[in-house]
Amino acid sequence: MSAAALQGQLRSLREVVDGLSIEVYRSVTSRSSGSIGEHVRHCLDHARALLTGMSSGECSYDGRLRGTRIETDPRAAAIEMAMLSVALDRLEAVPADRPIRLQAIAQQGARPTDIRTTVGREIAFVIQHTIQHCAVIALLLEHRDIAVPPRFGYAPSTPLPV
């Protein structure tokens, strides 16, 4: 699994975010989804957690930085995506089978569970997680009649609808 694929997802997300007004970026249209900015921030939290995990040997996606400028300002989000993308270059030199410890809370109120995993597996997870949130962002934009690129929010293995 390649960090370049994650960088590509962040680049695609940045292209969509760069064209949005602050109003569209912040707007919450449903109780079940949140704003586009909240989805973007959540994706970037995961990329940041992956990078932190590579440095420390321990990774956790449960920490969140809610309420940051990334949630409310598409320009701040675009800058953060560019910085994370540059930082992801470091992962290209890391073997995909390098072990890492993942701490995950699987049930509310439970203690974190330690899971042995690999760098490649965690890169794959963050890529898939980002794609999932891009799909939600695409739906939120569709409700506003704002078009997104044809493959935005689609897994690479998913054929485009006819």
Q: Is residue 151 one of the residues assigned to a domain?
A: no
Q: Is residue 53 one of the residues assigned to a domain?
A: yes
CB 16 within 8 A of CB 136: no
Q: Is residue 154 one of the residues assigned to a domain?
A: no
The number of distinct structural domains making up the chain is 1
Q: Kindly report the CATH number assigned to the domain that includes residue 72.
A: 1.20.120.450
pTM above 0.85, yes or no: yes
Q: Is residue 98 one of the residues assigned to a domain?
A: yes
CB 6 within 8 A of CB 123: yes
The Cα–Cα gap between 64 and 66 comes to 6
Q: Is residue 58 one of the residues assigned to a domain?
A: yes
**Containing domain of residue 40, as a range?**
3-142
Q: Is residue 82 one of the residues assigned to a domain?
A: yes
The Cα–Cα gap between 147 and 162 comes to 17
- 41 exposure class (CB count in 10 Å sphere: 0-12, 13-18, 19+): buried
Walk along the chain (162 residues) and give the pLDDT tens digit of each residue: 588 999 999 999 999 999 899 999 999 887 778 899 999 999 999 999 999 998 888 999 998 777 789 999 999 999 999 999 999 998 888 899 999 999 999 888 889 999 999 999 999 999 999 999 999 999 999 999 999 998 899 999 988 766
The Cα–Cα gap between 120 and 131 comes to 17
Q: Is residue 158 one of the residues assigned to a domain?
A: no
Q: Is residue 7 one of the residues assigned to a domain?
A: yes
